[in-house]
Amino acid sequence: MDRKGRSLHDASLRVMSLVLLMGGVGFCQSDEQDTDLPIFKRNYSVLNFIDVNTYKEIDCSAENYEDITWYKDGLRFPFGWDEDKLQDMGISLDSRNQTLTLRRAETGTEGNYTCVVSNQNGSIRRDLELRVIANEWIHEPILAFDSHCGERITHIGSNITFTCKFFVGPNGDEAVASWYYEEKSQLEGKESQLPQGGHHHHLVWIYMRELNYTRYEVPNLWMDGKLLVVSLDIFNVTEPALGTYVLMVSNGIEPAAYHRITLSSRHRMPNGIGQFPIKGRQKIVP
Average the pLDDT over 60-81 and give the result: 93
Q: Please report which confidence band the pLDDT of residue 231 belongs to, taking 50, 70 and 90 as the band edges.
A: very high
Phi-psi label, residue 243: left if phi above 0, alpha if psi -120 to 50, beta otherwise: left
- In angstroms, the CA 163 to CA 143 distance is 11
Per-residue pLDDT, 99: 92
> Closest Cα to residue 274, out of 203, 194, 215?
215
pLDDT digits (tens, 9 = 90+) for 158-194: 999 999 999 887 767 788 999 999 987 544 444 444 5
161 close to 233: Cβ distance less than 8 angstroms? yes
Q: Please report which confidence band the pLDDT of residue 205 belongs to, taking 50, 70 and 90 as the band edges.
A: very high
Per-residue pLDDT, 158: 94
Buried b or exposed e, range 137-154, using 16+ CB within 10 angstroms: bebbbbbbbbebbbebeb
One-letter amino acid at 73 equals D
Hey, what long-range contacts does 218-225 have (CB within 8 A, 24 or more apart)? 218/179, 218/284, 218/285, 218/286, 220/285, 221/175, 221/176, 221/177, 223/172, 223/173, 224/165
Averaged pLDDT of the chain: 77
- In angstroms, the CA 18 to CA 24 distance is 10
| C-alpha dihedral sign at 124, 148, 48, 63 | negative
Those residues with Cβ within 8 angstroms of residue 27's Cβ, 6 or more apart along the chain or in another chain: 43, 145, 146, 147, 150
DSSP string, 143-154: EE--TTSS-EEE
For residue 146, pLDDT over 60 is answered with yes
Predicted model pTM: 0.54
Q: Please report which confidence band the pLDDT of residue 84 belongs to, taking 50, 70 and 90 as the band edges.
A: confident
188: Cα within 13 Å, side-chain hemisphere: 1
- In angstroms, the CA 189 to CA 185 distance is 10
Per-residue pLDDT, 201: 64
For residue 53, pLDDT over 60 is answered with yes
